[in-house]
Amino acid sequence: MPPIEREKGKGRREEGEEKRENPGSQFPIPLHEEMDPAMDRRAFLTLLGASLALAGLSGCTLRPPDEKIVPYVHPPDADEMTPGKPLFYATACPRNGYVDGVLVTSREGRPIKIEGNLLHPASLGASDAITQATLLEMYDPDRSQQVMHRGLPGTWDAFLGEANTYMQAQRAVRGAGLRVLTGSVTSPTLVAQIRAMQAQLPAMQWHQHEPISRDNVRAGAQMAFGRYADTLYDFTQSAVIVSLDGDFLLSMPGHVRYARDYAASRRVRTKACGPGQPAREIMSRLYVAESMPTLTGTMADHRLPLRARDIENVARALAQQVGVNGVAPTEPLPPEVAEWVAVAARDLQAFRGAGVIVPGDFQPPAVHALAHAMNAALGNTGKAVRYIAPVEAEPMDQAASFRKLVQDMQAGQVQMLIILSSNPVYTSPADLDFAGAMAKVPMSVHLGLYDDETSALCQWHIPETHYLETWSDGRAYDGTTTIMQPLIAPLYDNTRSAHELLDALLVPPGRAGHDIVKTFWSGQHRGADFEAFWRKSLNDGVAAHPLSLRRRGGTELSSGASVAGQVSLQAANPTSQPGSPSPVPGGGGLELIFRPDPTIWDGRYANNGWLQELPKPLTKLTWDNAVLMSPRTAEKLGLTRQGGTPGTHPESVPVVELRYRGRSVRGPVLILPGHPDGSATVTLGYGRTRAGHVGTGAGFNAYALRTSDALWHDDGLEIVRTDDLFSLGVTHSHQTMEGRDIVRIGSITQFRKDPHNPDGKEHVPNKPPMILPEAPPLPPSEYAWGMSIDNNVCIGCNACVVACQAENNIPVVGKEQVLGGREMHWLRIDRYYTGMDMERPTGTYFMPIPCMQCEKAPCELVCPVDATLHSDDGLNMMVYNRCVGTRYCSNNCPYKVRRFNFLQYADIAPVIQLMRNPEVTVRSRGVMEKCTYCVQRIQNAKIDAEVQDRKVGGDEVQTACQQACPTNAIVFGDINQPDSQVAQLKAEPHDYPLLAELGTRPRTTYLARLVNPNPEMRAE
Amino acid sequence: MAVEHESRQKGLNPPEPVLLPGQTYASIDEQISAIVLKRPLTPGWLFGTLLSFAFIMLLTFTIVYLIARGIGIWGVDVPVAWGFAIANFVWWIGIGHAGTLISAILLLLNQKWRTSINRFAEAMTLFAVACAGLFPLLHLGRPWAFYWLFPYPNTMALWPQFRSPLIWDFFAVSTYLTVSLLFWYQGLIPDAAAVRDRAQNPLKRLFFGIVSLGWRGSAIHWKYYESSYWLLAALATPLVVSVHSIVSMDFAVGIVPGWHSTIFPPYFVAGAIFSGFAMVLTLAIPLRKFYHLEDMVTLRHLENMGKIVLATSLVVAYGYFQETLMAWYSGDRFEWYMVQDRAFGNYSFAFWLLLLCNVVAPQTLWVRKWRTNVLWLFVLSLIVQIGMWTERVVIVVQSLHRDFMPSAWHMYYPTVWDWAALTGSLGLFAGLFFLFIRILPMIPTHEVQKLAHEREPHPERENPAAAAKARP
């Protein structure tokens, strides 16, 4: 970016700020050195005020982006900032190349909340936990803020100078020594830039390396169709869903949308209950054969735990039975598995054209090819399954590409390596010595948000702008394209986006990101209406461009019939294809499964406190990863939980050494019911050495075991017990409901018989009789806020938990405090197993627990200072200022939803304070806090309604958790208005209050969980 | 001691006298005031005082650290938001019961044996209540705002929330402390005057002169003294029952299984008397030994206290039985789970320990030989106190750690600061007591003298006619 451009917005900034940009300064210049001896009093005071205001921001600036950004929905002239009023901007959150459409709340120029973009097909207004938490990433004080040259502070100009020398040298050899390493790329602008670079330097090479690789998906499509293709599912169209280790509810691209669609196929209502909730008493049926338990598996009507390598055999058996020619299982199936396959196959046959088979991203290509063949054979293609041209700009076999890069580096053929937003030193497979090869590259450049493991080995590190500070673009899983606009000018002056870096390398000194992106799009959308197009695209968060629209004919690959022909030809003998893991000769032992971490993903979010402290959906583990295995496997290895050794936490678990292919790491064991026997799962992303204050040192590094030929699972693991013990911060360690009436679980058939008691059990009445006379009725209030949570569609994905954390300024407490039982989440998701045998639980059930806002609240009675009391519209309110912290209310809360600031938990780092929601008090230590039904949103709606002289609509207020929920499981509103959605849901027969027998009369009620088991399946 | 041996040899069970023969007005006065006035600093006392002082320092440090860092230095969490602090509070308050019970109820019931032990039992009460009072304050999240529990006039017109048992607690404990203090002080006045009259040192004379409030021992003084003392006793009597009943309501009003029980008030009162008498034994036995008070604190006293310990142990055992029975009989799933968890769950060791200490061990007192064995009584008194403290911990912690929602279940592990606060409060108690025994007369001289007076032959009372004849 040329300095001229950057001057544009400077006029608004204080004078003292200018010098912060002083290139080459290693440390922020102390105030007294900045002072001119001739400075007059006024200038001094200005400077003093500025430095006080920004004290602790360590050089970061706070202002809106210089260029025009377009707020959501509001008419174009209404985007002037009004103090106290939030503005909303559409943009997109990239992960693994794909983007999810988001809508960001901005307060006085500060983004404070990320939500889904209603107009974006991958979001439809919802989002996931990680996307929500990327807000904290932007404000992370550990973010890289300084150009680094060989570990010492450098300057952008010095970098450009050196880089130019190399670029000149490369021009001479047509770029033969130039390599660009990226993750998966969907950004049209970035692709155009790389293409431009390739045009100038035809011999350069572009490599891609995404740790959570989708090579299997690509190879599977290659195998089936002879070309790359992306598969899209439409679960609203499906009656029978069979997942072969496919976690379409949490980890696949598009999972937010898939969760919405899946929920639509499972939602049961006796009457229509508002938009998207028609009367419907049928459910789709979900079969899941999976290895590591996933959220998709927990939703299954029939879940089959299998070792990861056995999935392929099941896929073959299933393919054979649904009529794919020339396929047969390679080994005989155990009777239990055979039954599952037979029943699933019959169901699929019965619902031809209304089924879908979902292969897992981490399963070998053969499973994908078989799934494509089955979907074709069953006539599902073109209905619930569609194929589109790849969304990625340049699909490739990333493992091979990366291996080639390492080879070239080792061979000394790489003169200049540009690493864009990737951390390969940490994430590269252990058998490729990428770190060692780095030493042979004379000029390596790393662009990244953090000064991480890779930047430590690079000549140059350029701090990257966060996506909320960046002009860019990207495409969603279905091809929808978003032009990403920044919410805020980069917090740190030295940061650059990938576009700016490449542009500066190509045409020094380069242009600003905005110009690069806009120039690219003006080439795409020619014509006089470009400005309108640009404005509309920014406003909607969806580019109004053919590239973007999923249902336009151009992107559809081909119709179902022709695909079927191709597939059945090629899938006959899929295992001969390269890319599938080959068992190590004589390996035996246990199977080792690698999976992305459900919260910190591949490790890139390791320094994100919200995600570190977010309980992982199934294990409820925080701050660590663990070696996950089934109870029986643990018993066999003598690893059942043992504690009580002096000097250790009483609940510590044994540490084991994992020996695998000549490498070993040590990690704690966590027993996971439902995990297949004979396997152990480790999640990637932990054991970072240069993540930052939050992430460094948490967990163990599973990448150290992972090899490029078996990225996801293979045999040959040996587990050796050590004498060490380790404490894991698990927030919910009890596994069963102890026979209590907590999650009501019934079947759809029973529901049709008796919708009031779908679980067929006797229940105490929702309003049990009381010995005491009823209190005199309160005067009727205008509103009665209430919430309905549908356990039937809650997938336990945690999106609501992070949404609540962001909305309500909930602090992160750290591992030690979690171990002590002091996590602060106002909303938690409980996870229960059913069945007598935890080895093979009959089901896993989730239940979000916010405050129940009891009408007869036990907490209110016992507070000695009246710090918690009831509002006339039914809120159980908490007056933080009045609370003295007796904690009696928490003891007396049967739902245990109250959270206490045992210590000073609220982070007071200045940059974190910028992120806070100004409408919610930050709580000090010694004060109780809890869910308030987002009272600040209710108040805003009331104020708006009063200004407009009307009543607040029954569905007008949305709580943060409701807004984030991908499955619309949470509905909030006014139950006084009978046409409100929440009132209709509460009138559903299977609505029930939690712990009704206590007589607390909760305002939050639940809808029973329903399953749709196939009666043909032998009772489990 | 000679008498003890004699009675044993004879195999008879005559009740031990409450004052051994040979003590006269003067000897009693002399012996008791000598402890305060003449006795030199002994190494034992000095050692005990300094040790206690060390623990007071520990307590002080804990409090400072607690206020600086926050309540999180203790092991409390969600769901176990109350931990040792509340258990300590209940335990100390319970100990504080015996003093007033001895001085007030036994006075009203005309139990002569109370006289020699009531002074230090009352002092024990005050010190125990002082220790107890620390904990509810310290365990607040924001202890500096404790006065918000008090209905003081303020500009925001905010009142406490009177439905909360914690407010009742606040009043009950402060009332109890006030009445106990007055009662104790009033009993002290004649004795302080006696010490004043014997004191040689002008400073001591001044101190006891102030303390005795100008007591001259006139008949008028005695008349007013007696009537007000009895009046105060009558006032204090209901407090003995009310304080711990109200403390028990902190739990009984809650809906937590293991708390929500109507038997709690009587059961807590019995437990309080139980631990209180055990504490009196713990203090009396070394005192009579080291200060040679065997003549005044006789085996009769110890035996009587042993009987009360036994009786209250049975009441407490009945409470345990009732709790279990009602949990089963009610058919309440949560209550019944709680009982099972108490017996076989994570904290079952504490439950069985408390049964052993509070129910099994006191049964030895049925046997007179054990009841009159001073060493066993001392050991047993310690066992009972450990048992009662464990009981409080079990009620607070075990009930909370597994209540309604299995998802929220979490263990409570005390930290080093939990133990520091407990041992520090023990140090505070002991330190105050060490100071008390050297500064104030620990045995009510005038009341013991009254015993001596009553023991002397009073021919005119026993046989007025003969006396009349004998008169010249």
B356-410 confidence digits (pLDDT tens):
999 999 999 998 888 888 899 999 999 999 999 999 999 999 999 998 999 989 8
Phi-psi region of B451 (alpha: psi -120 to 50; beta: other; left: phi over 0): alpha
Edge to edge, the sheet with strand A1004-1007 lists: A970-974, A785-790, A1004-1007, A991-993
Distance from CA of A701 to the nearest CA of B (A): 29
255-284 of B, contacting A, C-beta below 8 A:
255-256
Asked if the model's pLDDT at residue B444 lies above 90, the reply is no
Please give the single-letter amino acid code of residue B169.
D
CB-CB contact of A481 with A548 (8 Å): yes
- pLDDT at B99 (0 to 100): 80
> Torsions phi, psi of A153, nearest 5?
-60, 135
Separation between Cα atoms, residue A996 and residue A765, nearest integer Å: 7
Q: Is residue A238 over pLDDT 60?
A: yes
Rounded to 5 degrees, what angle do the CA atoms B466, B469, B472 make?
140
Chain B hits for A890, CB-CB cut-off 8 Å, are 78-79, 81
B265 to chain A, closest Cα gap in Å:
18
Q: Which residue has the tokens 């994992």?
A: A658
Tell me if residue B197 falls in helix, strand or coil. helix
Cβ–Cβ < 8 Å for B285, B6:
no
Confidence of residue A825 (pLDDT cuts 50, 70, 90): very high
Q: Is A1007 helix (H, G, I), strand (E, B) or coil?
A: strand
Of A36-40, A173-177, A363-367, B202-206, where does mean pLDDT reach its minimum?
A: A36-40
**Model's pTM, two decimal places?**
0.87
Neighbours of A913 (CB within 10 A): 17
Higher pLDDT, B35 or A324: A324
Residues 719-748 of A with CB under 8 A from B: 732-734, 736-740, 742
- Given A651, A732, A896, which is nearest B78 (Cβ)? A896
At residue A327 the predicted structure's pLDDT band, cuts being 50, 70 and 90, is confident
Query: In the prediction, which pLDDT does A45 show?
Result: 59
Pull the structure tokens for residue B43: 């190494």
Amino acid letter, A945 = A
C-alpha closest to that of A1015 among A502, A402, A302: A302
Check the CA dihedral A192-A196-A198-A202 and report its sign. positive
* Residue B424 to residues A85, B397, B418, Cα–Cα distance (Å): 54, 21, 10
Quick one: closest CA in A to B80, which residue?
A891
Percent of chain A with pLDDT over 70: 86
Q: Has residue B447 got a pLDDT over 80? A: no
B224 or B31, which is more confident: B224
Q: Which of B268, B244, B259, B248 is nearest to B398 (CA)?
A: B259
d(CA A931, CA A824): 11
List b or e across A791-810, with b for residues whose CB sees 16 or more CB atoms inside 10 angstroms.
bbbbbbbbbbbbbbbbbbbb
More confident residue, A737 or A39: A737
Q: Chain B contact for A349, CB < 8 A?
A: no
Question: Can you tell me the mean pLDDT for A571-581?
Answer: 42
- Distance from the Cα of A881 to chain B's closest Cα (Å) equals 10
Indicate the range of A586-600, A891-905, B313-327 predicted with least confidence.
A586-600
Could you identify the residue written with the tokens 């120039």?
Answer: A519
Confirm or reject contact between B413 and chain A (CB < 8 A).
yes
Tell me whether residues B72 and A882 touch, CB distance under 8 A.
Answer: no
A887 touches chain B (CB under 8 A): yes
pLDDT at A55 over 60: no
B81 touches chain A (CB under 8 A): yes
At B8, the pLDDT band (50, 70, 90 cuts) reads very low
In the prediction, which pLDDT does A4 show? 34
* Closest-CA distance of chain B to residue A892, Å: 6
Q: Does the pLDDT at position A400 exceed 50? A: yes
Mean pLDDT is lowest, of A148-162, A770-784, B131-145, B298-312, for A770-784
Which of A650, A847, A885 lies nearest to residue B142, judging by beta carbons? A885
pLDDT at A15 over 70: no
- Amino acid sitting at position A851: C
A884 touches chain B (CB under 8 A): yes
Using a CB-CB distance cutoff of 8 angstroms, which residues of chain A are in contact with residue B148? 865, 882, 884
Task: Provide the b/e sequence for A132-164 (b: ≥16 CB within 10 Å).
Answer: bbbbbbbbbbbbbbbbbbeeeebbbeebbebbe
pLDDT tens digits along A694-717:
889 899 999 999 998 888 988 888
- pLDDT of A566 strictly over 60: no
Q: Are A876 and A859 in contact (CB under 8 A)?
A: yes
Tell me what pLDDT residue A493 has.
Answer: 84
Kind and range of the H or E element at A595? strand A590-595
Tell me, what's the pLDDT at A28? 41
Q: Which residues pair with B253 in a beta bridge?
A: none
pLDDT one-digit tens code per residue, A623-669: 999 999 988 888 888 887 655 455 556 678 889 999 988 899 999 99
Identify the residue with better confidence: A67 or A399. A399
Whether B142 contacts chain A with CB within 8 A: yes
Tell me the C-alpha distance between A783 and A470, whole Å. 42
Better pLDDT: A774 or B159: B159
Task: Assess B75–A contact: CB distance below 8 Å, yes or no.
Answer: yes
**CB–CB of A885 and B140 under 8 A?**
yes
Round the average pLDDT of chain B to a whole number and report it: 85
- Cα-based angle A42, A45, A48 (whole degrees, multiple of 5): 150
pLDDT band at residue A5 under the 50/70/90 scheme: very low
Distance in angstroms (rounded) separating the CA atoms of residues A741 and A762: 10
- ipTM reported for the complex, 2 dp: 0.89
CA angle A282, A283, A285 (to 5 degrees): 140
Euclidean distance between CA atoms A886 and A862, whole angstroms = 10
Residue B464 pLDDT > 80:
no
Higher pLDDT, A165 or A60: A165
Q: What pLDDT shows up at residue A545? A: 64
**Pick from A710, A702, A479, A670: nearest CA to A600:** A702
β-pairing, A785-790 with A745-747?
unpaired
**Measured CA angle at A126 (ends A120, A128), to 5 deg:** 115
Which range, A10-19, A137-146, B283-292, B448-457, has the best average confidence (pLDDT)? A137-146
Going by their DSSP bridges, the two strands A713-726 and A679-683 should be labelled as unpaired
Looking at the partner chain, which of B78, B145, B255 has a beta carbon nearest the beta carbon of A884?
B145
